């Protein structure tokens, strides 16, 4: 395993520069940009005492201020081109201003987005002005379980002089997404988490179509709360995305490489690799989005139904037959609602699901 501190995930991305004529050399064709995704653990969620769960870091200014100052110092030292933070404490003005001021002074454009229903935390995205020009910024509110959100940033590479000597005015555009998906506390939330990814990809697809972008590289960054063994990982792979960290270290999708790296220890004390920076180049072959979504969703539903089937056979058999009839009749547009119905009817367990 290759552990990294906290929820840190950092790697190099290679984004090809669009050109009107073939590049003269490989060095001239590629400009390197770096990206960091970091779940910085909002002080309102950081427990300080196992015996007193209500005691949080947010109650002690000296604690949360010191920790976040160190995080900021590390981010500024790394000076990556793209910074994506999750569990950013949007509800605290002092902390928000500290991040915005320090990052702005260091040459970053910053964008923050709070989770819905006043949850207190959210997302922060920062891109360095030496590398990018901002073309557009959008916010995606899931308005579902967990009040999750996502950011979409449309940028154009400015190409620092150190990257290329070419005088061609054509500049590569790029879509960057930052998000933090649900933690799969139970089977119902596993499919809800998958549906959140589907919404993101659907939004990206719509944005590209409405803005007549054609093929542009897409970066999806954040805390995905799921490992390489899960359905979310397989779903994104079917859509042409590749884990840039795995590419850099030449890891595969095999079970042998599934746990070669660790990105954090979750609130249950488990060490896992769930923070990803996904990259999709425009020429990557993909399945139709709805097809991939249906396959992944039905995969989860099938596993849960089979696992819970034998505890009350006659009733479960009827439920399974009813489910198959609905699918046969084309009632599959709202798979999430359908799955929640069966979760309650079949009394699917509410314990932690390892990864679906």
| Residue at 200 is within a domain | yes
3-state DSSP assignment of residue 281: coil
pLDDT number for residue 232: 85
| Residue at 344 is within a domain | no
| Residue at 323 is within a domain | no
pLDDT number for residue 355: 59
pLDDT number for residue 169: 55
| Residue at 299 is within a domain | no
- Rounded to 5 degrees, φ, ψ at 52 are -130, 90
| Residue at 135 is within a domain | yes
Domain span at residue 76 reads: 2-294
How many structural domains compose the chain?
1
pLDDT number for residue 245: 80
- Say which CATH number the domain at 62 has: 3.60.10.10
| Residue at 354 is within a domain | no
Task: Identify the segments of the chain with pLDDT beneath 70.
Answer: 1-31, 160-170, 185-188, 227, 229, 252-274, 293, 302-356
| Residue at 349 is within a domain | no
The reported pTM is: 0.77
SS (H, E, C) 296-340: HHHHHHHHHHHHHHHHHHHHHHHHHHHHHHHHHCCCCCCHHHHHH
| Residue at 272 is within a domain | yes
Cα of first residue to Cα of last residue in the chain, in angstroms, is: 22
The torsion of the CA quartet 241, 246, 252, 255, rounded to 10 degrees, works out to -100
Q: How far apart are CA 81 and CA 325, in angstroms?
A: 51
Residue keyed to tokens 């320090």? 102
């Amino acid at each position: 395993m290759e552990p990294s501190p906290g929820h840190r995930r950092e790697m190099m991305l290679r984004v090809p520069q669009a050109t009107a004529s073939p590049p003269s050399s490989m060095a001239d064709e590629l400009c390197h940009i770096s990206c960091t995704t970091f779940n910085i653990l909002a002080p309102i969620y950081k427990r300080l005492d196992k015996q007193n769960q209500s005691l949080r870091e947010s109650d002690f200014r000296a604690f949360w201020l010191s920790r976040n100052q160190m995080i900021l110092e590390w981010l500024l030292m790394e000076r990556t081109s793209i910074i994506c933070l999750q569990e950013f404490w949007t509800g605290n003005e002092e902390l928000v201003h500290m991040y915005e001021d320090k990052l702005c002074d260091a040459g970053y454009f910053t964008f923050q987005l709070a989770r819905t229903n006043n949850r207190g935390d959210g997302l922060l995205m920062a891109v360095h002005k030496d590398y990018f020009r901002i073309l557009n910024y959008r916010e995606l509110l899931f308005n579902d379980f967990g009040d999750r959100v996502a950011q979409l940033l449309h940028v154009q590479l400015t190409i620092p002089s150190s990257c290329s000597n070419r005088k061609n005015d054509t500049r590569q555009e790029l879509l960057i997404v930052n998000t933090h998906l649900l933690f799969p506390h139970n089977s119902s939330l596993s499919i809800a988490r998958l549906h959140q990814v589907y919404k993101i990809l659907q939004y990206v697809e719509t944005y590209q179509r409405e803005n007549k972008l054609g093929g542009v590289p897409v970066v999806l960054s954040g805390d995905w709360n799921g490992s390489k063994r899960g359905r979310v990982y397989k779903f994104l792979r079917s859509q042409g995305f590749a884990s840039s960290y795995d590419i850099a270290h030449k890891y595969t999708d095999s079970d042998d490489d599934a746990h070669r790296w660790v990105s954090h220890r979750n609130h249950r004390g488990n060490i896992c690799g769930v923070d990803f920076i996904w990259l999709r180049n425009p020429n990557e072959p993909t399945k139709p989005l709805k097809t991939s979504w249906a396959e992944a969703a039905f995969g989860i539903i099938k596993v849960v139904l089979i696992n819970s089937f034998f505890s009350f056979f006659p009733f479960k058999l009827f439920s399974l037959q009813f489910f198959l009839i609905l699918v046969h009749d084309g009632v599959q547009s709202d798979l999430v609602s359908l799955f929640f119905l069966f979760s309650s009817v079949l009394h699917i367990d509410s314990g932690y699901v390892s990864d679906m």
